Amino acid sequence: VDVGAYKGLWISRYLRKFSKVFAYLIEPHEESFVNLQKKFRSISNVKLFKVGISNINGLKQVNVNSKAYTNSLLELDPQAPISWKKNKFEHLYQEKVEIITLYDFVKKNNIKRINLLKLDVQGYESRVLEGAEMLLKERLIDILVLEVIVAPTYKNQSKISEIFGILDRNNYNLY
């Protein structure tokens, strides 16, 4: 399961080595989702979903920024330009998107186990993991790969301590 699939670069590399795996790509941003549809239209073992993964179910705004790889369910932090001096961070507009917990997404799509969960969710990691807590408790996720931003980039972005706390209380180890 690839949450925050963006351009599908990560899963493309993974599929080169493990071509028969079944992949679920989740991307809430409309333009990125359309590009994923074009890229993976002929690959039957890749399923695409235009939703956001969170700790609650409902509707939320995706903040679309000048650098698409920074799009997030969180607003940009005023400190972002200072943290990322070489990149121009600018908020452009918002898109409404359905959000769902990973637990409910897994149930809805009849996924029995997640062998590998990749998160690239631009500061939203702790919320995604909170919405996956039952899966973690039941040991239904084998491996987690997280891209985590520690420099101030988003308002209320996940703290490393929050992420580690969720993993620790569910007996997941870092390697």
Give the model confidence (pLDDT) of 10-28 as tens digits.
Answer: 999 999 999 999 999 999 9
Query: The tokens 């991307």 sit on which residue?
Result: 27
**58, 104 Cβ separation under 8 angstroms:** no
pLDDT at 95 over 90: yes
53: Cα within 13 Å, side-chain hemisphere: 31
Question: What one-character DSSP code corresponds to residue 69?
Answer: G
Per-residue pLDDT reduced to its tens digit, 141-155? 999 999 999 999 999
- Tokens representing 132 are 């996956």
**What's the whole-model pTM score?**
0.95
Cα–Cα distance measured from residue 49 to residue 33, given in angstroms and rounded to the nearest whole number? 8
Residue 84: predicted pLDDT:
84
Q: What is the mean pLDDT of residues 122-126?
A: 98
Say if CB 5 and CB 52 are below 8 A apart: no
Each residue of 63-90: pLDDT tens digit? 999 989 999 999 999 988 888 887 778 8
Q: Is the pLDDT of residue 42 over 90?
A: yes
Whether residue 119 is predicted with pLDDT greater than 90 in this model: the reply is yes
What's the confidence (pLDDT) of residue 85? 81
Q: How many residues does the chain have?
A: 175
